[in-house]
Amino acid sequence: MGAESADASKVNIFWKIPMFEFLEAEELDRLYSLCATERFAKGEYIFLECDQPKNLYVVVKGEVKLLKQTEDGRETIVEMAYPGEIFGEEAVFDGQPYPMTAQALEDVELLSISRGDFFSFLRDNPDLALEIITELGKRLREAQNTIRALAMERVEWRIARVLLMLSRKAGVMEADGVSIDLPLTRQDIADMAATTVETTIRVLSNFKKMGLVDTEKGKIILRDRKHLEEMVSEGCRQP
């Protein structure tokens, strides 16, 4: 493990990402040399739905909302990208326009790789392709779970699901519960649960009354995770 890289600290970023962690040090170096670091302030757009695909992005710091909009301005967050995850890959791989808009949830730091560079790197590292396939499979699963949820679950359940998902991805253990360490507005949560701000607020108030969650200076704290998980029950349902 004698990585003699120009910029060891940055290559380490890849090193920490499950998807890349099995690559040789020299390949990590090469991959890194193909990347550019980009920063976006909270609320800035990284790309818009229907833009021509240029880059694949890796989240280094911060979170990115991947959303779709209607003509009248309503939004749905179809996916979130957290540190260590990639986004924009659908478009990069098939050359079609980006299928959704990417917006910084807070100040983010990204690595971007151009379509062409990434492809040639991928050709030289076939095992990475397998990693990516696995990753995409995971995403598909999640998307299908979301579809099921939207199709069959009531709002409360969907919001509970969103909270649990967020706590898994960005949860911080606290004295009494798990705090979601993200600058989320109720509108954001509504967009993730495919509902309106008003209902989200109402549901969260109810959850609070029931002792399931709490809010402290903007952050949401899950007080009774187990109970929330029971409502959702992502489990198996055999016919």
Partner DNA sequence: ACAACCCTCTGACAGAAGTCATGGCGCGCT
Partner DNA sequence: AGCGCGCCATGACTTCTGTCAGAGGGTTGT
Question: What residues line the site for DNA (CB under 7 A)?
Answer: 154-156, 185-187, 194-199, 201-202, 204-205, 215, 218
Q: Tokens standing for 93?
A: 């791989």
5: helix, coil or strand? coil
Q: To the nearest whole angstrom, how small is the minimum distance from the Cβ of residue 55 to DNA?
A: 27
Length of the chain: 239
Q: Which lies closer to DNA via its Cβ, residue 58 or residue 222?
A: 222
CB of 88 to its own copies, least distance (A): 10
**Residues that bind its own copies in the complex, under the rule CB under 8 A:** 45, 48-50, 68-71, 74, 76, 78-79, 89-91, 93-94, 96-97, 99-101, 119, 122-123, 126, 129-130, 132-134, 136-141, 143-148, 150-152, 194, 236-239
- Both tokens assigned to 85: 């995850």
Cα–Cα distance, 192 to 187 (Å, whole number): 9
Q: Residue 52 Cβ, how far from its own copies at the closest point, in Å?
A: 11
34 binds, among DNA, its own copies, none (CB under 5 to 8 A by kind): none
Closest approach, Cβ 158 to its own copies, in A, equals 10
Of 179, 165, 168, which is closest to residue 222 (Cα–Cα)?
Answer: 179
The rounded distance, in Å, linking the Cα atoms of 212 and 180 is: 14
Distances in Å between the Cα of 232 and the Cα atoms of 66, 111, 117, 180, 227 are 23, 35, 42, 18, 9
Spell out the residues 6+ positions from residue 199 whose beta carbon is closer than 8 angstroms to its own: 155, 190
Whose Cβ is closer to its own copies: residue 16's or residue 148's? 148
Residue 215: contacted member of its own copies, DNA, none (CB under 5 to 8 Å, by partner type) = DNA
